[in-house]
């Protein structure tokens, strides 16, 4: 053991820390069903325990009573219908769809602010990406203009 630590003080703090089993389960209740504005924090391809590929999204609620909470979304990639739903989600995020899924640049999704809807039916949570609110790359929103918006 390291002599750099005051183990006596640490052991006393350890002994004084009560484990409250009820509070830990309350802290991790899922956010309720409804609409949320979220920032895309992480997107990665993964494989399920049964060997099926999917795209895993980590979304962070951007405002409101649940600000800072994480919402997880999965796009399974096993069927043509799964791919259709993924294409819809990517289009809703403002992504130009690549010709091949393997060409999808996941980092282009990061920091985008999206409106999502969460719906629970029985034990299944469904997360729907409704639309892009903004891209927050470098904390400066990217604003798009039509040709008609330019005055010259």
In a domain, 14, yes or no: no
In a domain, 10, yes or no: no
The DSSP output letter for 111 is T
pLDDT at 23: 55
pLDDT digits (tens, 9 = 90+) for 21-33: 655 555 678 899 9
In a domain, 17, yes or no: no
CATH number reported for the structural domain that contains residue 35 in this entry: 2.40.50
In a domain, 105, yes or no: yes
What total number of domains does the chain contain?
1
Q: Which of 45, 72, 68 is nearest to 58 (CA)?
A: 72
pLDDT digits (tens, 9 = 90+) for 54-109: 999 999 999 999 999 999 999 999 999 999 999 999 999 999 999 999 999 999 99
Mean pLDDT across the stretch 26-45?
A: 90
In a domain, 89, yes or no: yes
Instruction: Name the strand (E) or helix (H) holding 92.
Output: helix 80-92
Q: What share of the chain is helix, strand, coil (3-state, %, to 5)?
A: 30, 35, 35
In a domain, 92, yes or no: yes
Q: How many Cα neighbours within 13 Å face the side chain of 34?
A: 9
In a domain, 94, yes or no: yes
Residue 12 confidence class, pLDDT cut points 50, 70, 90: confident
Domain limits for position 99: 30-142
Lowest mean pLDDT, pick from 13-27, 93-107, 122-136: 13-27
Contact predicate 119/129, CB 8 Å:
no
In a domain, 96, yes or no: yes
State how far the Cα of 56 lies from the Cα of 141, in Å rounded to an integer. 24
């Amino acid at each position: 053991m390291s002599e750099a630590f005051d183990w006596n003080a640490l052991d006393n703090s350890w002994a004084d820390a009560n484990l409250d089993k009820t509070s830990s389960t309350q802290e991790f209740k899922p956010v309720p069903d409804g609409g949320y504005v979220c920032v895309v924090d992480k997107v990665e391809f993964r494989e399920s325990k049964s060997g099926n590929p999917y795209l895993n999204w980590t979304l962070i609620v951007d405002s409101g009573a649940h600000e800072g909470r994480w919402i997880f979304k999965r796009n399974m990639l096993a069927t043509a219908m799964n791919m259709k739903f993924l294409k819809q989600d990517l289009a809703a995020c403002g992504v130009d769809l690549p010709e091949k899924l393997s060409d999808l640049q996941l980092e282009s999704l990061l920091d985008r602010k999206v409106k999502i809807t969460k719906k629970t039916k029985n034990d299944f949570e469904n997360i729907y990406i409704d639309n892009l609110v903004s891209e927050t790359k470098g904390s400066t929103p990217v604003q798009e203009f039509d040709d008609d918006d330019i005055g010259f």
